[in-house]
Amino acid sequence: MLVRRIAPTIQSEEILPLRCGLFPVVGPWNCLAEGRPTQRCEAQACGVKRKDPPMHTARLSIVALMATTGLVLGAAPSWAQPQTEDETILVTFDSTRSDPAAAAEQAVERAGGTVTDVEPLGSTIAAVTITTTSHRETAAIEDRAEDQRGVKAAEVAGTVYPTTTNDTYYSYLWNLNNASASTYGVKAEKAWAMSTGAGTVIGIIDTGITRNTDLNAHVIAGYDFIDDDTNPTDAGPVSATSWHGTHVAGIAAGIANNGVGIFGVAPNAKIEPIRMLGAYGGSDADLVSAILWGAGVSKGGASVSNAHPADVLNLSLGSSSSLNLSCPTALQTAINQAVAAGTTVVVAAGNDATSLAATYPANCSNVIRVTATGVGGKLAGYSNHGTTAFPATVAAPGGSATSGSDPNPQHWILSTWPDSYQFMVGTSMAAPHVSGEVALLKSIAPSLTPAQVTAVIKGHKTAVSDGCTSARCGAGIANAAAAVAHVAPPAVTTAKVAGTARVGRVVRASMPTSLEADHLSYQWLRDGAAIATATRSSYRLTKADYRHAVSVKITATSAGVTVTKTSARVSVAKGTFGKQRSPKARGTARVGRTLTAFRGRWTQSPTSYRYQWLRDGHKIAKATKTHYRLTAKDRGHKISIRITVKRSAYVTRSARSTQRLVR
C-alpha cells in the first residue's frame, strides 16, 4: 500500500497530498499575490525547499514597529454616553457613612432622581441607578446631588474597555481579547475568570516547536515521529521550515501576563509538541502514530510511551482538495480510538475555498471541523466549508487577508515564532482557538467526553455576521466565555438582602457566584411566601411589606446543576420622605396682602399635606389653609409656613419655609 505524505498548506504541486492547514501566507506585507503564494513564497511552507531563497520581510521588526503601544479606552464623559433608559450615578461622600447606599439614595432622590437600584461600593461611595428620559435630565440630577452638603461628587458612570493583560501586543489580539473591536473573537480573556486551562494538555500535531518566551515554560515532553526521537523541536533554517507548529501552539496556549508578546486561548494549559510534518511534509503513517501516541492509546511506533496523554489534539493540516480523497481507514480508526480514550480531536477545514468533504482529516468523522472567519464575523474567502453530508462543526478566527501586502493587522492572526512573533492567516490558525477552548472546558469539567465537549462548543457560540448556515460555516463562531460559563460549577456561598429595609427603598439580592447573570433567577418572599412579579435582582419595598419580613431566593443553574439559596429575613420599617425642594411662603410680605404656601417637593409622593402658618416660629391660631392674609398683628414679625406630609407606612415629616419679614 502506498504511504501518502503530508505537508503544509503552502504547497507546490510537488508536495502531495497533505499539507499544513494554514493559508499560504506568512506575515502581512509579505508574499501573497491575489490569494496564491508566489514562487518565492512557496519555499516558506513547512520545510518546502525551493531554489529561490524565501522572502521573510515581516518578522518581529515590523510587528514591533506596529505594536509598541497598547490601547486603553477610558470612561467617556457623561455627556458622551449613548442614550439609555437607565443611568448609574456614582455618589462619593466627603467622609465615611455608616450606610452609604441609603445616604446616596437619599441624595439622588432629593435631587429629583427616580431610584431603581443602589449598590454600596465602599464606606464613602455608592452606585445609584436611576430611570431617566434624557441625558440633560441626568446631568441636572447629577448637579443637584453634588450641590448637597457632604456630597463630594456625583458622576454618571462611564464605560471602560478592559486591557487586563500586560502582554506587549495585546491590542493586536482581536481574536482573543476583551477590547471593543473583538466582537467576533472567541472571548478567551473573558473566560479566564472561570478557567485558564490549568491541568490540561494540548497536543499540537504539526512541525514541532521552537523556543519562545510565551511558550517555553509550558512545553512538556513530546515526540518527533520524523526522526523517531524525543526531541520535537523545529529549529530548521527558514529555507527548510515555516515554524507552523510554533505559531499554532501560541494561539492555543501562549502564556499571558508575562510582560511580553501575546497570549493564547488557554494560557495555563501545557503544550505537547508532536512532530510529524517536516521539510517535505509527512506521511499518513506518522499522522496515525502521532494521534495514537498523543492520546495515550499506544506508543504508535514511538520509543517511549506518552506520560501525559492529551486532552485535545490539534490537527492544522490536510490533504489537497484537488485529489478529493476520502478519510483513510487507518486514520479514522486512530481518531476513533483517541476519542474513545477521552481525547477530543480538532481539525482545520482547509484553505481551498471548496467543500471540506474533499480533504482529510476534515472529512473524517468523530472530529471537530473548524472553518475560518475574519474580524467582521464572515467566513474567510479561502476557507473550506461544510456540506449537508460533511457539516462544519464551528468557526473560529483565522484572519481574512487576501494579499501579503494587506497592512491591516486585524486581517491577520498574530502568534509565536522562533524568539519573535508573526502574522499568519488560515484555518490552521482557526483550529487552535477551538483546541484552546477544549482545554478551558476540560480544566473545570474533566469528566466531559469529546461528544459532550463538542455539544457545549456548538451550543455556546457567537452568530456569524452574514447568516451563513450551520452546515456550511458551523454552529457559529467559538465563544469560549459562554461555553465555559455553561459548565462552570455554580460556586455559590450564601444569599443575602442588601440595602435599607424601609418602605419605598430598593433592596438587592446579593450572592457571590462564578456564573454570568443569565444563569441566575430571583424570587422575593414576604414572610416566606412568593411576592407576585418580584423576580428581578432588586425589589422596591411597598407598604404591603411594612411590619413583615422579606427575603430573597436565588437559583443558580449551570450545565444541568441547580443550586438554590435563600437569604435570612429582614424586617421592613416605615419609609421616609426625602425633601427635594423646601416649602416657601410666596407673595408680598405686606399687611393686607395674602401669602400662598408652596408645599415643596418630596420623594415618595405624600398622600396628604397639613399646613400651619407661623409667626416668629409660633403657631398662628386657625391659620391652617394654603393661603394666609397678613394682618396688623404680623407687622414687624417674621412669617413662615410649616408643611407636614403623610403617607401610609411612612414616617410623618415636617419642613418649614424661610421666614418673611412683614412690613
Active-site residue set = 206, 244, 428
Q: Helix %, strand %, coil % for the chain, to 5? A: 20, 30, 50
Characterize the bridge pairing of strands 461-462 and 627-629.
unpaired
Q: What is the C-alpha separation between 308 and 293, in angstroms, rounded?
A: 10
- Confirm if 382 and 353 have CB atoms less than 8 A apart: yes
Residue showing cell 531563497: 53
- Provide the sign of the torsion angle of the four alpha carbons 214, 219, 224, 225, taken in this order: negative
Query: E strands along 107-260, which residues?
Result: 114-120, 125-131, 151-156, 201-206, 223-224
- Confirm if 411 and 174 have CB atoms less than 8 A apart: no
CB atoms within 10 A of CB 342: 18
Q: What is the C-alpha separation between 470 and 387, in angstroms, rounded?
A: 9
How is residue 452 written as a grid cell?
459532550
Q: Residue 315 is inside which H or E element, if any? A: strand 312-315
- Confirm if 224 and 231 have CB atoms less than 8 A apart: yes
Using alpha carbons, select from 95, 81, 74, 96 the residue that is nearest to residue 142: 81
Residue showing cell 496523554: 309
Q: Name the phi and psi angles at 126, rounded to 5.
A: -145, 150
Q: What is the C-alpha separation between 232 and 438, in angstroms, rounded?
A: 23
Q: What is the C-alpha separation between 338 and 623, in angstroms, rounded?
A: 93
Q: Residue 273 is inside which H or E element, if any? A: strand 270-275
Characterize the bridge pairing of strands 36-37 and 653-656.
unpaired
Residue showing cell 448637579: 143
- The residues, any chain, with a CB within 8 Å of residue 149's CB and separated by 6 or more, are none
If you count them, how many residues does the chain have?
663
Q: What is the C-alpha separation between 392 and 628, in angstroms, rounded?
A: 84
- Confirm if 351 and 21 have CB atoms less than 8 A apart: yes
CB atoms within 10 A of CB 336: 16
Q: How far apart are the first and last CA of the chain?
A: 119
